[in-house]
Amino acid sequence: MRTSLRYGLHPILPARLGFRRLLARTNPDLSSVLDATDPFALAPSRSRVTLARVAHEVLDRKVPGDFVEFGVHRGGTAGVLASILRTEPERTLHLFDRWGDLPEPTEEDGDMKVRYARDNIPEKLADLRTRPPLESLRTLMERMQFDRVKYYQGWYDDTIATYSGEPIAFASVDCDYYDSVKLVLDFIRDRASPGCVILVDDYGDDWPGAKKATDDFCARHGLTSEVVINQALVRF
């Protein structure tokens, strides 16, 4: 599967022009992974294709270490990573999430401080309680027959200290809020293998905190980011 998954249509092609139909013709393996992860995904198809492309680039360059994801929810993007790691028996997928709650945004999150304040999202919080996302994620991993996965449930401040993996080769970050993104980027940097790549989701105007945290991180450490639609690639 790895050989065919690495080739796919560039995600810039809009969905309205038949992105998924063309992908099914040009890369049926990747298309089937998207089909399998659709019910579990908040990330759109194009973001998951970028995720697959960058993850394969890391493997092709033989960057040593494990894969991590921060902000997993029901597992749509984790399922894509699991499909890629099937042929990498020495690597483990580490998944970090609160699974059932959301943090309080801060001033750094701009308009989201009000929109996603806990008092303003009771329905979202209730949905997390009544439809536990971790159960959905475990179901997906079972369907994909992937068991080299470790779950770190809780607030990042607590769980990153319990990380038990190898140096990090690839990281997917989908934490939305400034404080969360800042915390995990610093954590990843301290454990990054040479050649590590971080893919930061929600890099744009919709989630200003995630963008600011990424820009601040790159400025502090003299790094640059490559932007693909609403995702940022940070390379070491």
Residue 45 lies in a domain: no
Residue 66 lies in a domain: yes
pLDDT digits (tens, 9 = 90+) for 116-133: 999 999 999 999 989 999
188 with 175: CB under 8 angstroms?
no
Range 155-158 contact pairs with CB under 8 angstroms and sequence separation of 24 or more: 155/98, 155/103, 156/70, 156/96, 156/180, 156/183, 156/184, 156/187, 157/183
Q: Report the alpha-carbon distance of residue 29 to residue 104 in Å, rounded.
A: 39
Residue 39 lies in a domain: no
Q: Is the pLDDT reported for residue 14 higher than 70?
A: no
Q: Give the domain range for residue 190.
A: 51-235
Task: Look at the pTM and tell me if it is higher than 0.75.
Answer: yes
Q: What is the pLDDT of residue 229?
A: 82
Among 37, 56, 50, residue whose Cα is nearest residue 202: 50
pLDDT digits (tens, 9 = 90+) for 182-214: 999 999 999 999 999 999 998 987 899 999 999
Contacts of 28 (CB under 8 A, 6+ apart): 4
pLDDT digits (tens, 9 = 90+) for 65-115: 999 999 999 999 999 999 999 999 999 999 999 999 999 999 999 999 999
Residue 7 lies in a domain: no
Residue 38 lies in a domain: no
Total structural domains within the chain: 1
pLDDT digits (tens, 9 = 90+) for 141-170: 999 999 999 999 999 999 999 999 999 999
Residue 24 lies in a domain: no
88 with 231: CB under 8 angstroms?
no
Cα end-to-end span (Å), the chain: 27
**16 vs 98, which has greater pLDDT?**
98
Residue 158 lies in a domain: yes
Residue 178 lies in a domain: yes
- CATH number of the domain that 157 lies in? 3.40.50.150
Average pLDDT of the chain? Answer: 91
